[in-house]
Amino acid sequence: MNVPNHIAIILDGNGRWAKAQGKPRSYGHVKGCQNLEVICDDMKELGVKYLTVYAFSTENWKRSQDEIKVLMNLFRGYLKKCIKISERNKMRVKIIGDISAFDPDIQKKIRELEEFSKDYTELHFQIALNYGSRDEILRGIRKLVQDAADGKVLPEKIDEQIFENYLDTAGIPDPDLLIRTSGEQRLSNYLLWQLAYTEFYFTDVPWPAFHKPELIEAIETYNARDRRYGGVKEES
Ligand code: IPE
Ligand code: IPE
Ligand code: MG
């Protein structure tokens, strides 16, 4: 099986999955978080080089205080566990998004995990936390404008490559395949720049129930696609 170099996933449907079983939303988040551990092993086994997951958006602060508390505590536990996951998969972990909004202990765990895993190259795992694509682009532009004002960048020289260096995903290739679980067919402010030519795959399966067979199905569907980048493909 030909695997995409970079897979991005919008981890959606934890709450609905739990509700369908008569359980609280928090149970869905616990299971969704556990599933994230397994999917990294699956990606590594399949030979995927880059995985970028959407775990908490800039809009998710609109949720109840109780739900946010559950999510923050799950992040705490997960970031710690992720050291082991990164070790066994030789996986480099980076957080994308504005982490300054998180409690200091969470920020510290993020820095520790990034530092611990920085020399691994088998799998590159990006977790989007307090991530919003519009926010990412604006933060990048603020920095770029400052660099231009300081004479470090010439405005007429700004091209796509230079701009991309100001995004949280600097140095990471664009996703080949985007998967969104749980039926919604929208981007919810995810990787708007980076997904310009990505293939989209939407499935009704909620995130806690999305396992290796579902992943393989997504990859097989991707493989049957005729990727184009604006040109005309030669007939074979
Ligand atoms: C995804 O599941 C997890 C986060 C956004 C944190 P949801 O919590 O969005 O679950 P649904 O979409 O309400 O079912
Ligand atoms: C998108 O899911 C964000 C994450 C998965 C982290 P949401 O459940 O927050 O998105 P909407 O509100 O349905 O667009
Ligand atoms: Mg949702």
Percent of the chain with pLDDT over 70: 99
Q: For residue range 160-177, what is the model confidence (pLDDT) as tens digits? A: 999 999 999 999 999 999
Tell whether the model's pLDDT for residue 224 goes beyond 80.
Answer: yes
Which residues have any ligand 2 atom within 6 Å of their CB? 10-12, 54-57, 60, 184, 186, 188
Phi, psi of 178 (to 5 degrees): -110, 130
Helix 25-46 and helix 65-89: axis angle, to 10°?
A: 20
User: One of 41, 42, 60, 135 is an active-site residue; which one?
Assistant: 60
pLDDT value of residue 236? 59
pLDDT value of residue 234? 75
Q: Select from 96, 86, 79 the least CA-distant residue to 170.
A: 96
pLDDT band of residue 7 (cuts 50, 70, 90) is very high
Q: Work out the mean pLDDT of the chain and round it to a whole number.
A: 97
Q: Which atom of ligand 2 is nearest to the CA of 59?
A: 9
Q: For residue range 31-50, what is the model confidence (pLDDT) as tens digits? A: 999 999 999 999 999 999 99
| Count helices and strands in the chain by DSSP H and E runs | 7, 6
Measured in Å, residue 54 CA sits from the centre of ligand 2 at 8
pLDDT value of residue 109? 98
Q: For residue range 141-158, what is the model confidence (pLDDT) as tens digits? A: 999 999 999 999 999 999
Tell whether the model's pLDDT for residue 235 goes beyond 80.
Answer: no
Would you say the pTM of this structure is higher than 0.75?
Answer: yes
| Torsion of Cα atoms, 104 then 31 then 201 then 87, to 10° | 60
Measured in Å, residue 57 CA sits from the centre of ligand 2 at 7
Percent of the chain with pLDDT over 90: 98
Q: For residue range 56-95, what is the model confidence (pLDDT) as tens digits? A: 999 999 999 999 999 999 999 999 999 999 999 999 999 9
Mean local confidence (pLDDT), 5-32: 98
Could you tell me the two tokens for 160? Answer: 């796509």
Q: What Å distances lie between residue 24 and 21, 28, 29, 161, CA to CA?
A: 9, 7, 9, 45
Neighbouring C-beta atoms of residue 206, cutoff 10 Å: 24
Asked if 35 contacts 208 with a C-beta cutoff of 8 angstroms, the reply is yes
